[in-house]
């Protein structure tokens, strides 16, 4: 099913796991999880439920993993899981959707406050099979923005919900 793959980061030559001498650990998209609306409704400071499965960047989700099970699709919602240690800074998350049926679609960026610790960023009500590329941008008040990228592929057979 899913094989762990390292998160790619464009940090001006620095590795994503490298400590910045001023800021601490650089913001990193460590993976993706499927949650329900009780979690996404809490915003970016929501806690990842203990039973949530974390899919690393580059994972392919198959079978019925993460499929919505409720009539109004209030579960199976994708969040990007971002870890960061440092002083608060601004950031944005942009999702590029490449559905299995074809095309490439850039969503408007989600702007967020990056605080020390874990941030969950809801990626929108996306359930279709395809590849979801995420680009996290931040600047740490140092001029040129830095970025980290991650991706998730959905290749599921979701049962119909009533």
Q: What is the mean pLDDT of each run of 10 residues along the chain (162 residues)?
A: 38 38 73 96 89 97 95 94 92 96 96 93 94 93 86 96 82
Domain ranges of the chain: 8-156
Question: pLDDT value at position 45?
Answer: 78
* C-alpha span between 13 and 11 (Å, rounded): 5
pTM: 0.83
The vertex-84 CA angle with 78 and 86, nearest 5°, equals: 150
Nearest in space to 161 (alpha carbons), one of 73, 35, 90: 73
User: What architecture is domain 8-156?
Assistant: Sandwich (2.60)
Looking at residue 6, its pLDDT comes to 36
CB 63 within 8 A of CB 7: no
At residue 22, the pLDDT reads 44
Tokens of 50: 């203990």
In the structure encoding, which two tokens stand for residue 60, read together?
A: 């392919």
Please report the pLDDT score of residue 19 as a whole number: 41
Please identify which residue in the block is written with the tokens 């994503």: 16
Position 24 scores a pLDDT of: 59
Distance CA 26, CA 100 (A): 32
List strands edge to edge, sheet with 28-35: 28-35, 77-84, 117-122
């Amino acid at each position: 099913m899913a094989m762990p793959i390292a998160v790619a980061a464009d940090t001006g030559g620095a590795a994503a796991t490298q400590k910045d001498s001023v800021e601490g650990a650089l913001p990193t998209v460590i993976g993706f999880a499927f949650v329900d609306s009780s979690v996404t409704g809490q915003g970016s400071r929501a806690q990842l439920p203990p039973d949530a499965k974390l899919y690393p960047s580059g994972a392919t989700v198959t079978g019925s993993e993460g499929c919505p099970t409720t009539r109004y699709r209030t579960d199976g919602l994708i969040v990007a899981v971002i870890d960061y240690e440092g002083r608060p800074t601004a950031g944005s998350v942009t999702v590029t959707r490449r559905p299995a049926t074809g095309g490439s679609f850039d969503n408007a960026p989600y702007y967020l406050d990056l605080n020390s610790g874990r941030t969950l960023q809801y990626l929108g009500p996306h359930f279709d099979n395809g590849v979801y590329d995420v680009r996290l941008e931040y600047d740490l008040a140092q001029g040129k923005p830095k970025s980290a990228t991650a991706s998730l592929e959905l290749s599921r057979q979701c049962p119909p919900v009533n």
